[in-house]
Structures are given as structure tokens and as C-alpha cells.
Chain A
Amino acid sequence: MGAAVAGWTVAAVLLQVAGLSLFLYGFFPVKPTLRGFSGAESYQVPSCGSVSAGEQEPTLPPDQLRSLYRELSGIPPVYDRLVLMVIDGLPAEFVLGRGRKPPSKEMMESMPYTQSLLAGCKAAAYHAKAAPPTVTMPRLKAMVSGAIGGFLDVAFNFNTQAFLEDNLLDQLHMIGLKLVMLGDETWIKLFPTLFTRQDGVSSFYVKDTVEVDFNVSRHLEFELAATDWSVLVLHYLGLDHVGHIGGRRSVLMTQKMKEMDDVIRRVHTASLQDNLDRTLLVVVSDHGMTEGGNHGGSSYEETDSLALFIGHSVESPYCSPYDQKEALQVDLAPTLALLLGVPIPKNNFGVVLPELLNSLTDDQKLRMLELNSWQILRLLQAQVPAFCLEDCINSEGSIVLDILHGSIEKKLCHLLSKAFSSHQSSCLHRGSDFKSVKSGYYGTAADNYYGFLRYASEWLSHRATDKPFYLLVSAILLMTVSCLFLMSTVSCLFKARSLSQVDHHSESYLDQRWHLDEVLVLAGMFLYVISLGSSSFVEEEQYTWHFLTSTLYLIFLTKAVQSMLKGSNPTLGHKAEEKSFDKSNFSYATSFELTPGKRNVYKLCTILIVLVAGRVIRAWHQGGINWVHFPDISKLLAQADSSVVKSLQIISVLAVVVLFSVSLTLLRARPKFVIGVWLTHISCGFLVLLHIWANQISTSLPINHSTASIARQFYVIASVSISVTVLASPWVFPMFSTEAESASSGSSPVKAIHGIRNSLFLTGITYTAFWGLLQLLLQQPINAIPLFLIFLQTVSSVVHFSLDKTLHKQWVQVVAIHFLGMAGHFGLGNTNSLASIDVAGAFIGISSYSTVLSGILMFMITYASPLMLYLGLVLHVSVKDIDDISALQQLKWSYILDKMVTLPCLFPLLINSLALTSYTIVLLLMRNHLFVWSVFSPK
């Protein structure tokens, strides 16, 4: 039976792991991105075969690089200066209208200058469709790099948010242009070293709609007068904040749009005064907003962002500004790159926008399209290694026949070769005197180029975001199967147990009816699984866990009160009470000879401690992702003097040591070995104190050698003492000695169990206490008190469960401990966002950077609380009810093992697998809505 259970469990866990990895593989497609930056090679035809042209060109000084680019491209830069004005959250509908209709009169009047430019054909505007997630940082990345970032790039560089892929701004910087940035500090996070002058404003205070834009505009006069910069980035956040407060129809909206229009007017007039009209003004929005003013998803309202260009090259004699021209947000990158004379970023799949090239000659236009096509061809070659231009041209004749049922690659091949050949024939007719012939050839070549570019761009963007549906479904099926496996194992176990219980105690005190706490555990798990379907519950998961945990412990409280009332009633429960009291003669309570009244007081007190500690932990870190601005204790402490935090740290270290010492006194037998463990623990606590003190003295030095050596000493002492305890404790407590003869009737199993219990108790308490100290060393100083409280909760709930073993079934106890662990996990400030992972602690005591070591430390820091509670389960096992085994006369090791180990292992597994499975199902259902983005990507 035991082997079968173990086998099933292992199989279920393996299935779960397999399903999860399959799901992750399907959900986060790792698209091959090209590393490095485009250089001079982007002005040459991509060669077949070797995708990564390994030859590293010597980096040229900026001026030479600039002239080299100009020479190679054959087109002089169209503009010298660029003003990129980002209006956060402005829907293109506000400026361009929707469905062939101009915007409403109110909207037209709120942007008079912009509308007059559009009507006068001095500006070109597009509905630039943004890709989800429609939140600021990924959208800015898309604009400057022309690529949709991978899902996991947030995870891969959690350490630094700096943007490392090839992008427009870095290219401009490389040819020696000076950049200035005013506005949202996201730009500074992305490009920390790029800007000559910068003034970042925070998007944190959403309620502020005035100051946030004033802080940008106050520099405008100076910057517009200055001549040193070539690129000016303005990022206005106010309109997004207006939306967040009052939605699209907010009364502040027209006012804000007037303000933006005024900025556009100021910048444009300044650029006109400037010498030769060599400035391009680009007004874009990073995303739109819903009717209620939010964004993040993929609805039309959210993805409808604006791209408006004002400059000499867009002017044309005839135009229809409200034609609702569609483009992609990524088209911005190649367009600006070509107009400013730098290579197109490597991973771009945008297409150069036609109206920006109005003032250019036909040849120049075709050359730009050609450069764009070469760049996209390089990207295609990275995705489809066999794809090759020469093959396409060579096999042209044979392909034409089967375009219709050819593969996508063949179609791309065909379009590409058609484009290049028509370009060649247009070049051949360059000398032709007939204008009509020339423009005719130009027209077909341009059409062919656009045909290829649009098709390739669409295909590439699909590849970047497509999720294989069947893969995801099969992964979820695997996980569901594993979940069912675990469930059936648990139910089998229960069936077996209830059978054996019927055998041995037919008058079992635990009646068969469902108890309130059991109902709550089941209903709570159900509600929790349901709540994962709502994004705000996922964002604020800490509320759910705290609520469930506190409710469970409140029910324990009422049960304790109830049993108290029952116990003091002489006629009813006396017999049962006496019986259970008699049976638990090995419990630690009896070692103190507690009277029933005192027992009851202890029972109530332990629960009250757990409840109050839980509430304090909850108040320590308020708010997960949505409500981070809520006041809480950790923010108060962050503002307070650092000595307060230090003293709290010291207090919690001392408290952990004291609590450990108190728990050790519960051991009845106290050999010298226990005292040894105690002493090492005290010395470890002393080391932690030293570490805190050393940090206090030298906060200025980034890497301090004395603190690192203290931390390393701690690691050594702690690991040695833990392993010695685990190995030695079975031999210290006598299992088969004659010494414990007097304890009971003297059968050897009883003594054996007694020995096992003592050693398990020592092991468990040592584990948890050392874990507590380790966490006090690693975690942020602010988390010291919550850590101690979690330790306290662990110990007191174990004590509570040992005081009255008949009150709660064992599986409820295990679940309660698991709940405590999860509540503590979120109580330490963790959220479901990757942004909340604490990186600083991962380098304590490590002299050189090591991914593995700091990864382990980071894992320990992040899962501090659940792991502490799992270690606490060892403690729990040692004090739990195995008296009915001692009632059996013959010794059955397998049965003891079964009773002691299986449940505590199986239940957390079951709950975790349930949570994971439901989480993945939610992800599958919502994969298009993608609220996930707002969870995974910082706003």
C-alpha cells in the first residue's frame, strides 16, 4: 500500500512538472532575437548561408560612422533633428475620428492647431495599432526597436531594466547625435546613459494631472532655444492620468488636449524658425484607453494609438486627413531610422510609412524600401534558416506555378523576388525620357515592395505572439490528470484509514459528520480557485490567503471555546475528555502536568497569538499590484529613522533565539547534545546580530568584506549544526533502552515511538529556528518582525494542535499550516508580479557573482515563509497523534511511516497542483485578453 501511494504520488508530480514546462514553453514562445546592432552591413544585400555575419567591424568614431552611412545608403538624411513627443494614453480616435468620420466637434476644437495642420496637408497621421500589453514600457520598446518584446524579457533581466536590444535611440547616439529627454522616467530606466540632459517625472502619482506635465513643459523654452541637441523626447503623462481618474469623457480631457495642442504649436513654430526646416516633429501615443480610462488589454480602444508626423517631407498638395489610414506602431522605427540616416534596428518588423517619403524622388523611395526589405530579409533568415534570396531568384520560374498552394516561405520568396526584379527593371529605365514610363515602373516596384513587406511583417508579428493552442490544451490536460491522480491517492488513503479506524475504535470520538473547519477548507479552496479567474484577485492574492487563514483559525477558536463549554459541562463531554486526556500521555502538555483548565487557556492563547500575528503581518505590506500606494507599516518604517529598523531587527533575532530556547525546554529528556545545539544556535544568532551591526556602520560601501565573511561563517555553522542534528538525533534519544520502562506498560514499540518523536521534535525545531535566523540575515531589514511573527505562528499552531489532538482532523491541520505559509508569503511583501522579487539579498555572503548560488539564495528569500512552514510540518509530525499506533501491540513500521509522512506531504502537493492547474486554465482562457500582461509587466 505504501509503495503504491508513493508510486502514484511520484508519477503525479512528474506529470505535473512535465505539464507545467510544456505549458510554459507554449505560452512564452522564445522567439529568436538578433543580438548586436545593425551597422554598415545593413546597406548590403544579405548573403545566403551564414546568418550571423561574425566579422566584427572596428567601431568607428561617430562622425566617420555618420558619413559612412550616408555614403553607403546613397540618400542624404532627410532630417537633422527629431522631436519625439509622446502623449501617454491618447487614443487616435480623439484626433482622427473613427469610421471615415472626423472626430466630434468638441474634440476638433480642443486641438485647433493640430487640426489646422492636418487640414492644410502639412501633417500625416495614422492609426498606429499597438500590440498588447498596452502598457507604457513595452510600447516604448516597440516604438524604438520595431519589435514586440518577448514575454519573458522582463524575467530575464530583472536585475536591470535597461534596454539592450538594437534600437533607434542607440543608433542615433552612435552617430554622435545628442539626445535630451523630458517626461516619464521610464525612458531613463530604459536608457540610463543615453541622454545628455534629462528630467524624469514619475507616473506613480496617478491623481496628479497638472504638475506632471508642468514639470515637462517648464524646460521647453530653454530646450527649444538650445541648438545642441538633435533628438528631443517629450513624454507627457497627464492625459493618461486624466483617463485613469475620469475616463474618456472626463471634464479635464478637453483641457488637457488643449494643453497638448499648445505644446505642439510651440514646438512646431520653434522648428520653423530654425534654419532650413530640417526638423521632424513626431507626435505619438504609446497606447489608447478604454471608455473607463484603463489600458493593458487588446481591445480596439486600447490599441488605437496615434502616430502623427509634421515635417517638410509629408507635405503634399492634396490630402484627406480623416481617411483612417492604418499602420502599426512598430512602423515608427524603420521610418525614423531611414529619414534620419541610420541603419534600421535589427529586430524590426515594421514597414516604412509611405506618406513620409512624399518629398523624395522615386529612386530614393525605392532605395529606402530596398533597405527595409533587406533588413526584414535578415530577420526572416534568422527565423527560417533555409530562407535565401539567391535561391528565390534562381527558382523563380518554377515557383510561379504553385503560389496558390505553396507554403508561406514560398510565397514570401516569390513576393521578394518579384519586388527586387521590378526594382531592377525600374533602375534600367532610369534613363528613359518618358516620365510616364518611369513612374509606371516605379509604381509596380513600390507596390511589389509593399506587398512583400506587409506580408512578411504580418507573418513575423504572428510568430512573435502566436501561442500554439493545442500544445497549451494538452499541457493543461496533463496537469489536470496529475491533479486527479493526487486527489484519488488522497481519497484512497482516507478510505483505508477510515476502515482501519472502524476496526480499532468503533466508538471513535471523531464523528463521521463534516465539521465546520473541513467545510471551510473545501469551500475556501473552491472560492480561491474561482477567484483566480479575476485579474484583481490575482493581483491582490494576499487578501484571499489572509482572509481564508484567519477564518480557519477563527473557526478553530470557536471549536476550542465549544469544547471548553462542553468540557466544563459535567454530564456531556466529560468521559470523552477524560479519555482523550488519558490517551495523550506522551504529549508535551502532560510533561507539565497541565490541568484541563490551564490546557484550555493555552489552547485559546495559541490561537489568539496566531490570529493577532497574522493581522500584524497583513498590515505590514498592504496592497499587491493595484494598491501599492496604500499606507502600511513597512512604508512608515521606510520613512522612519534607520535605527528604528535596526532595533526591530535586533529584537526579532533575540525573540527567535528565546523562542527556540523555550521550545527546547519542552523536551523532557535533555541530554548534553541538546545543549550543544542550543549553543550553536545562540552563536548563529550572535553572528546575525554582528552582521546587522556591521551593515549599520558601513552602509556606504557596496561590498563589505567583513559582512560577507560574517555571513559565510553563519552559513558554515548553521549547515554543520543542522546536519549534525539530523544525523545524530536518532542515536541520542534511546529507542530501545530500558530506561523509559516506567513511562508505560513497557512494550518496545511505545519506547521506539517515543524516541522517534523526541528526535523528530528536535530536528523540526532546529530546522525552523535556523531557517528563521537565515531569513533574518537575508531578507530586507523591514521584514524582520514579520519573519519572527511567522516563526511564532508556526510554533504556536503546532503547540495548539498538540494540546488537543481530537479537535481537528490531521488533514485540516496540514492544510492550516499550508495556509499560514501562503499568507506569510504574501505578508512578506511578495506579489504575483516579478517586480517584487528581492534581488538585493541574493548577494549576501557571496564574494563573486555566481548565478547558481544567488539563484538559490533568491529562491530562499522569495519562498521564505512556505518553506519555513514546511519545515514546521516536521515539528508537527513529531507531536501529532500516533497513540493509536501504540495501542497496537505489534509494531508496524510501514503503518507508522504511512501515518506520519504521507499526509503532510500529500496535502501541500495537492493544493499546489490544484492552484497551478487552475492558474494555467485561467491563462489559457484569458490568453487573448491578456490581463496577464499587467501582472507580469511593470506599468
Chain B
Amino acid sequence: MRAEATQISALTAGAAHLLCFAGLAAAHGLAGRGALVSDPALALRLLVVCEAPIVIAVFSYLRRDAKSCSFFKAVARGLIGLPVGAFLNAFGAIVLGAPVGIKYWIATIYWSLVMSLFTFVPAACVFGASKIDWQNVLSHSIYFTPTDVENYMISAPCHGAVLGAWLGAWPMPLDWERPWQEWPICVTYGALAGYMVGMVVSLVLMTVHKRRVRAKAD
């Protein structure tokens, strides 16, 4: 199988996730506690600045068609994918009811860039324009049928981030009058939490899948 040849190990995947997590932690450290609530634009900007190079570099390194596509080409794909994914995410958020007032624009732009890093950019770096792989990212079949390690690595955190952001929007209409109920703070918290859960889930799925493959081989 083709997968056997380019199969990356679960260890590599774990290291990649760890690097991404380190980016998040660095952004958190730079911004300080509670920065997301007090100044969401600043915190989100730091998040983009810290996370973008790491994500693009890591996933360009893990590109699928390593033979035919150079590292820099993958980086370029990621750089193009960043604004495209940001646009899609911003569209989704606004359609779901995110405010469009002028004072929210900056925060919305940074938020959608962060979401793009979680969802669109990894897939753009790894898959390029391969339609079948994109279709795999959109579907939820990876949770039922075994596929490649990359699919787990990309899909699970991506789904986690989107689902987390969706769930994070629920407390917004409550009348608790807390500062974190503002757009996009609780949505960002939800997305971050979902992203991390997704990373863990992808690692779990990988090991389960590996064991199954091994059992089959025996």
C-alpha cells in the first residue's frame, strides 16, 4: 500500500502535536493570564504570530507527496491557505451570528486566522489540491474506518476546534454579564479546548489503529 511507504510514525505525530501545543503555550506565556478577556485582539494576534510559523513548518515537513513537492512549495501552500481558511472561518462565524460592527472587525480577523491555523492550513500544507484527501477531512469516516496517520492528525484537531467553537458560543446569550461572554472570547476558549481534545483523540486513534494493523498482521 502507498500508505506503508510514506507512513509517518505515531511518535512523529506526537512530536508535531507537542510542537503545536508549545506554540499555544508560548503565546499564552507572552500574553499573560487573562489577556484574552482584557484585550482579545492582542492575545489573538500573539496566538497567530506564535502558532503560524510552527504549524506551517511542521505540516509542510509532513507533506504527503514528499517526492514531487518541495518543502518550500508546501510552505507556500500553507501561506496561501491561511487567508483562504480565515475567510471561510469568518464567513461561517458571521453567518452563525458573530457581530459585524466596526469595533469587532480586528478581533474577528485575528480569530479567523487562528481558526484557519487550526483547521485549514494543516490540510493545505499536507494535501495540497488532492480532492480525495480534502473530502476525507470533511467527512467523519475516520472515526470508524482506519486510514492514514496524517488523516487522524489533521482531521481530529480540526473537528475538535470547530465543535469546541460551536459549543463555546452557547453561553453568549445568557444574562450573566461576564466580560468573557463577549465575541470572540468564549468561542476562542471553546476552540482552543476542542483543538487540544482533538490532538489527544488523534493520538489515541493512531495507537488503536496501529494495534489493529499489528493484530491483522499476526
Write the residues of chain A forming the contact surface with B, with a CB cutoff of 8 angstroms.
513, 516, 527, 531, 534, 536-537, 539-540, 543-544, 546-547, 550-551, 554, 558, 561-562, 565-566, 568-569, 572, 611-612, 614-615, 618-619, 626
B90 within 8 A of A: no
Find out whether the CB atom of A550 lies under 8 angstroms from the CB atom of B175.
no
Known A-B contacts A536-B174, A543-B173, A569-B131; the reply to A550 vs B138 at CB < 8 A is no
A626 to B172, CA, bound (A): 13
Find out whether the CB atom of B97 lies under 8 angstroms from the CB atom of A615.
yes
B140 within 8 A of A: yes
A568 to B135, CA, bound (A): 11
Find out whether the CB atom of B135 lies under 8 angstroms from the CB atom of A547.
no
Find out whether the CB atom of B131 lies under 8 angstroms from the CB atom of A565.
yes
Pick 19 A–B contacts, CB within 8 A, sort by A.
Answer: A527-B170, A531-B170, A534-B174, A537-B174, A540-B173, A543-B97, A543-B172, A543-B173, A546-B97, A547-B97, A551-B96, A554-B92, A561-B138, A565-B131, A565-B134, A568-B131, A569-B135, A615-B97, A619-B100
For A554, list chain B residues within 8 Å (CB): 92, 95-96
A567 to B197, CA, bound (A): 32
Closest partner residue, chain A, to B175 (CB atom): A536
B180 within 8 A of A: no
- Looking at the assembled complex, report how far the CB atom of B203 sits from the nearest CB atom of chain A, in whole angstroms: 23
Find out whether the CB atom of B132 lies under 8 angstroms from the CB atom of A618.
no
- Looking at the assembled complex, report how far the CB atom of A268 sits from the nearest CB atom of chain B, in whole angstroms: 38
Beyond contacts A531-B170, A539-B175, A569-B132: 4 other A-B pairs, Cβ-Cβ < 8 A, are A544-B173, A554-B96, A565-B134, A565-B135
Known A-B contacts A558-B138, A562-B138, A566-B135; the reply to A550 vs B173 at CB < 8 A is no
For A565, list chain B residues within 8 Å (CB): 131-132, 134-135, 138
- Can you list, as one digit per residue, whether each of B142-185 has a CB less than 8 Å from chain A (1) or not (0)? 00100000000000000000000010011011110000000000
B139 within 8 A of A: yes
For B131, list chain A residues within 8 Å (CB): 565, 568-569
A611 to B94, CA, bound (A): 10
A550 to B96, CA, bound (A): 6
Query: Which residues of chain B from 72 to 116 have a CB within 8 Å of any chain A CB?
Result: 92, 94-97, 100
- Looking at the assembled complex, report how far the CB atom of B122 sits from the nearest CB atom of chain A, in whole angstroms: 17
- Looking at the assembled complex, report how far the CB atom of A327 sits from the nearest CB atom of chain B, in whole angstroms: 32
- Looking at the assembled complex, report how far the CB atom of B154 sits from the nearest CB atom of chain A, in whole angstroms: 15
Secondary structure class of chain B's binding surface, majority of residues: loop
- Looking at the assembled complex, report how far the CB atom of A902 sits from the nearest CB atom of chain B, in whole angstroms: 30
For A546, list chain B residues within 8 Å (CB): 97
Closest partner residue, chain A, to B92 (CB atom): A554
For A531, list chain B residues within 8 Å (CB): 170
Which of A540, A544, A550, A562 is the one whose CB lies under 8 Å from B95? A550
Name the residue among B134, B173, B174 with the largest chain A CB count within 10 angstroms.
Answer: B173
Find out whether the CB atom of B96 lies under 8 angstroms from the CB atom of A562.
no
Find out whether the CB atom of B166 lies under 8 angstroms from the CB atom of A551.
yes
A265 to B127, CA, bound (A): 80
For A562, list chain B residues within 8 Å (CB): 135, 138-139
- Looking at the assembled complex, report how far the CB atom of A253 sits from the nearest CB atom of chain B, in whole angstroms: 18
For A626, list chain B residues within 8 Å (CB): 175
Write the residues of chain B forming the contact surface with A, with a CB cutoff of 8 angstroms.
92, 94-97, 100, 131-132, 134-135, 138-140, 144, 166, 169-170, 172-175
For B135, list chain A residues within 8 Å (CB): 562, 565-566, 569
Name the residue among A516, A546, A562 with the largest chain B CB count within 10 angstroms.
Answer: A562
For B132, list chain A residues within 8 Å (CB): 565, 569, 572
Find out whether the CB atom of A611 lies under 8 angstroms from the CB atom of B173.
no
A565 to B173, CA, bound (A): 37
For B169, list chain A residues within 8 Å (CB): 547
A645 to B92, CA, bound (A): 30
A539 to B140, CA, bound (A): 35
Known A-B contacts A547-B169, A569-B132; the reply to A614 vs B140 at CB < 8 A is no
For B175, list chain A residues within 8 Å (CB): 536, 539, 626
Find out whether the CB atom of A615 lies under 8 angstroms from the CB atom of B134.
no
For B100, list chain A residues within 8 Å (CB): 619
- Looking at the assembled complex, report how far the CB atom of A610 sits from the nearest CB atom of chain B, in whole angstroms: 10
Closest partner residue, chain B, to A548 (CB atom): B96
Find out whether the CB atom of B173 lies under 8 angstroms from the CB atom of A537.
yes
A568 to B138, CA, bound (A): 15
For A618, list chain B residues within 8 Å (CB): 97
For B138, list chain A residues within 8 Å (CB): 558, 561-562, 565
A561 to B166, CA, bound (A): 20
Name the residue among B96, B138, B172 with the largest chain A CB count within 10 angstroms.
Answer: B96
Name the residue among B132, B134, B172, B175 with the largest chain A CB count within 10 angstroms.
Answer: B175
For A612, list chain B residues within 8 Å (CB): 95
Closest partner residue, chain A, to B134 (CB atom): A565
- Looking at the assembled complex, report how far the CB atom of B21 sits from the nearest CB atom of chain A, in whole angstroms: 27
A614 to B95, CA, bound (A): 8
- Looking at the assembled complex, report how far the CB atom of A400 sits from the nearest CB atom of chain B, in whole angstroms: 56
A544 to B173, CA, bound (A): 9
- Looking at the assembled complex, report how far the CB atom of B152 sits from the nearest CB atom of chain A, in whole angstroms: 18
A543 to B169, CA, bound (A): 10
For A614, list chain B residues within 8 Å (CB): 95
For A534, list chain B residues within 8 Å (CB): 174
A164 to B109, CA, bound (A): 56
- Looking at the assembled complex, report how far the CB atom of B128 sits from the nearest CB atom of chain A, in whole angstroms: 14
- Looking at the assembled complex, report how far the CB atom of B177 sits from the nearest CB atom of chain A, in whole angstroms: 9
A554 to B88, CA, bound (A): 11
A1 to B138, CA, bound (A): 40
For A537, list chain B residues within 8 Å (CB): 173-174
- Looking at the assembled complex, report how far the CB atom of B124 sits from the nearest CB atom of chain A, in whole angstroms: 15
Find out whether the CB atom of A615 lies under 8 angstroms from the CB atom of B173.
no
A534 to B174, CA, bound (A): 8
- Looking at the assembled complex, report how far the CB atom of A904 sits from the nearest CB atom of chain B, in whole angstroms: 26
A513 to B140, CA, bound (A): 11
A914 to B140, CA, bound (A): 29
- Looking at the assembled complex, report how far the CB atom of B119 sits from the nearest CB atom of chain A, in whole angstroms: 12
Find out whether the CB atom of A550 lies under 8 angstroms from the CB atom of B174.
no
Closest partner residue, chain A, to B96 (CB atom): A550
Closest partner residue, chain B, to A573 (CB atom): B135
Find out whether the CB atom of B96 lies under 8 angstroms from the CB atom of A547.
yes
- Looking at the assembled complex, report how far the CB atom of B13 sits from the nearest CB atom of chain A, in whole angstroms: 25
For A539, list chain B residues within 8 Å (CB): 175
Closest partner residue, chain B, to A565 (CB atom): B135
Which of B95, B140, B170 is the one whose CB lies under 8 Å from A611? B95
A551 to B139, CA, bound (A): 16
Find out whether the CB atom of B140 lies under 8 angstroms from the CB atom of A516.
yes
Name the residue among A527, A534, A558, A615 with the largest chain B CB count within 10 angstroms.
Answer: A615
Closest partner residue, chain B, to A625 (CB atom): B175
